[in-house]
Amino acid sequence: MIVLENVSKIYKNGTKALNDFSLEIQDGEFVYIIGETGSGKSTLIKLLNGEEIPTKGRVLVNGTNVGRLRFGKVPLYRRKIGVVFQDYQLLKNKTVFDNIAFALEVINKSKEEVRKRVKEVLEIIDLANEFNSYPTELSGGQQQRVVIGRAIANNPSILICDEPTGNLDPRHSKEIIELLEKINRSGTTIIVVTHDYVLVDTYKKRTILLDNGSIVSDDSEGGYIHV
């Protein structure tokens, strides 16, 4: 479960990114976070993955107070959450298999464990036949699926996606959302930060609209939101 209690974030340059922000996301939910540029979406992601600490308030993820985590504990915390960004961030000199395996290797999983889990992940992301391809040989949608595969390799309980369809055409965007729905059905909490209102309207989920670091609306039914 994710709980943000009266969180404010003011950067060193004085920018107020979040303003007395409170939010609760239950285990297994699928949530869209939408809003204009500068509304606080990116800061929210940074707070959730321990990249930033709140100026005020508490960020609790599965009972862990993320803002109070010591630096040495941040890597261990990050193994429990997956993060996907808009720019695919794949290692171009590694194959699809190796890119996914990388996430397991850096946390010292055995070769056997890596091989077994990567195979499972390749099935989930529907790229079993492309395991030996390099990122440059894949379409944008396929690359993003590999990134998602890498993010879920450690079986995280939460998957945070920052504009996962930002660089994709509608067909590939649809594939990505359907993949995220599939992952969500297995119990993983999904948070999607997006500008793609068409997608939000098509695949209706709980939708939180941010503006100037505050929640403007939190609609559990979802759908198109007039900003």
Partner 1 sequence: MFRRIGRAFKEAWWGIRHHRAMVFSTVVTISITLAILSILGVLIANINQITYDIEEEIQVFVKIDNDVEEKDIEELQLKVSRISGVAGVVYSDADSELTYFIEQYGESGSIFEIYRDDNPLSRAFIVSVSTGFSISEVSKQIGTLDGIAEVNFGGFAIENFISLLGGIRKAGLVLALAIIPLAIYLIYNTIKITIHSRREEIGIMRLVGATNSYIRIPLVLEGIFIGIIGAILPCVGTVFGYQYFYEQMNGQLISGILKLVDVFPFTLYVSAILLAVGVFVGLIGSWWSATRSLRWKR
Site residues, partner 1 (CB under 8 A): 49-53, 71-72, 74-79, 83, 89, 91, 102-103, 105-108, 110-111, 150-151, 153-154
Backbone angles phi, psi at 169, to 5 degrees: -80, 170
Report how far apart, in Å, the C-alpha atoms of 144 and of each of 85, 109, 115, 118 are. Answer: 9, 24, 21, 16
**Min separation Cβ 92 and partner 1, Å:** 9
By beta-carbon proximity to partner 1, the closer residue of 78 and 174 is 78
By beta-carbon proximity to partner 1, the closer residue of 60 and 225 is 60
**Min separation Cβ 53 and partner 1, Å:** 6
Cα of first residue to Cα of last residue in the chain, in angstroms, is 28
**Min separation Cβ 107 and partner 1, Å:** 6
**Min separation Cβ 105 and partner 1, Å:** 7
Instruction: Give the tokens for residue 12.
Output: 């060193």
**Cβ–Cβ < 8 Å for 49, 83:** yes
**What is the bridge-based pairing of β-strands 214-219 and 206-211?**
antiparallel
Listed in order, strand segments (DSSP E) in 109-203 are 158-162, 189-194
By beta-carbon proximity to partner 1, the closer residue of 190 and 215 is 190
Dihedral through CA 194, CA 184, CA 73, CA 102, nearest 10? -90
How far is it, in rounded angstroms, from Cα 210 to Cα 86?
19
By beta-carbon proximity to partner 1, the closer residue of 75 and 223 is 75
By beta-carbon proximity to partner 1, the closer residue of 106 and 227 is 106
**Min separation Cβ 208 and partner 1, Å:** 23
